[in-house]
A and B are shown apart, each in its own frame.
Chain A
Amino acid sequence: GNSVTQMEGPVTLSEEAFLTINCTYTATGYPSLFWYVQYPGEGLQLLLKATKADDKGSNKGFEATYRKETTSFHLEKGSVQVSDSAVYFCALRPDNAGNMLTFGGGTRLMVKP
């Protein structure tokens, strides 16, 4: 079956530090890959996506590259801010079943001033 594995948190960083949150997946074919962010007390919001191998998704200074060879979609940001503190979820949608999203367990990021 399909699965998504994320690094366990929490990840605690100082402001302006470099962020990497690892995400690897198991799926057949070429799934679409997503990062969602959940701010405290809110629902999830789509942060970025990539729909084919070697695509780079980017938004709000965050980036992730779809690596088919390593089945990975790591989230990176060059300089985090306190306002980036949230829970980040990696997710995939299989290429043959457009209505199911499989999520990773989530990684909590805490950024200190």
Chain B
Amino acid sequence: GQNIDQPTEMTATEGAIVQINCTYQTSGFNGLFWYQQHAGEAPTFLSYNVLDGLEEKGRFSSFLSRSKGYSYLLLKELQMKDSASYLCAVIKAAGNKLTFGGGTRVLVKP
């Protein structure tokens, strides 16, 4: 089976940094995605990690440690529009099927 755990909610201030952690236990692993989902909208792709280490894309970075079953998404220079849910999703070894964590709702305050 697969367990994917993320905090339910986080609050941060505009301009600050927030780190969203994701831990997973899975019988097979072949990559981890982060998606952003605004309320009532579709999830949009943020990042993909399959090797250990940090992937940086502008204000967003994602880190993976396969040995620890751990990833985080780092959001820097927070903007009000970053208020959304952030979904961690793991791919099993076979095929491109995503299993999502419950999502972390981030609220950015002025």
Q: Do A and B bind each other?
A: no
Instruction: List A residues at the B interface (Cβ < 8 Å).
Output: none
